[in-house]
Structures are given as structure tokens and as C-alpha cells.
Amino acid sequence: MRRFVLPLLLISMFILVACSTKTAVPEQTASQPAPVSDAAPTQTNELTRTDEQGAIVFVITPLNLGTPADTLEFDVSMNTHSVDLSMDLAQLATLSTDAGLTVQASKWDATPGGHHVSGKLIFPSIQDTKSILEGASKLTLTIINVDATSRIFEWELK
């Protein structure tokens, strides 16, 4: 019996250490902005932004920047090994432009909970009868208080 206890204990400790180890990352690791044109992108990943602060990795891709309707939608993926992802991102996310407009997210369309969550973060594209993208050259998505004070994702607009 003792012959099995030590190997089992060592394997369990290895798994726990591997799942809980944090990699040191800079304070802000969102990838650099890429220009957005009115045409639909041929590669989604050129618009994808990643933030690896804390224990959660965020991957965000705008879905309709080139052809916004009543809403602007972002595909959001969150992955972690140690944090419950049951929060409502709509309450924690804002979208702003360099033209001075800011809107709160209107919906987080995802099944919350667990350690791997994907969904759509939806914002109104019109504020006070004006498109929030009108006159803007930069779009900033900010998410606060999700295992980091703030996560900032930026896109250059054409």
C-alpha cells in the first residue's frame, strides 16, 4: 500500500502546481491596434485582441465594426484555471471613442460560470441619435474588475 501512496501523492502535487502556476506578464498585454476598414476583414485574427493579466486570459474580436447595425458586437472568450467566470460582463464593460462618446454594454450573451466561457458582448451603436463611431478614429473597449483593475482593448478605425 505504501508503494502506491508516494507516487500518487507526487502526481497530485504536480497537477496542482501546474494548474495554479501564474506566468509573469506585463501590466497591459493587449495586442497592438490594427486598422479597421469598412470592408469585412478577410482574417478575423487581425482584429483579435488578447489580455493575459491575472489568472484570466481574455480574447476579444469585434464582429461587425465594418457594418454596424443597431448594435456593435464582440466575440469574447475567457479562460482560467482558478477563477469562477460567472460575472455579467455587460455590467463591467464600456465602449468609448476618441470623439468623446462612451456607452455601457447592453448585453452579455453567454452561459456564465466555469473556467472557460465564450459569448457575445453587445453595445448600442447609437447614442442620442448619433452613431458612436461617427467622427472616431479609435475605439476602446474597457472591462473592469475581472481579476485585474482594468483591461483595455483598442482598435484603429479608418
Whether 70 shows a pLDDT value over 50: the answer reads yes
Distances (CA, A) of 137 to 36, 48, 50, 132: 9, 18, 21, 11
The pLDDT of residue 10: 54
Is residue 139 helix, strand or coil? strand
Residues in the chain: 158
Query: What order of strands is seen across the sheet that includes strand 49-51?
Result: 49-51, 57-62, 71-79, 116-124, 107-110
pLDDT tens readout for residues 7-55: 555 565 545 444 444 433 333 334 444 444 333 333 347 999 999 999 9
Class of the domain covering 25-157: mainly beta
106-129 average pLDDT score: 91
What's the pLDDT tens digit per position in 47-64?
A: 999 999 999 999 999 999
So what's the pLDDT on residue 100?
92
pLDDT digits (tens, 9 = 90+) for 81-108: 888 898 999 999 999 999 999 999 999 9
| Contact call for residues 30 and 152 (beta carbons, < 8 A) | yes
Model pLDDT, residue 38: 35
List the domain boundaries for the chain: 25-157
Whether 60 and 74 have beta carbons less than 8 Å apart is answered as yes
Give this prediction's pTM. 0.71
Q: Annotate 72-92 with DSSP letters as a single string.
A: EEEEEEEE-SSS---S-GGGT
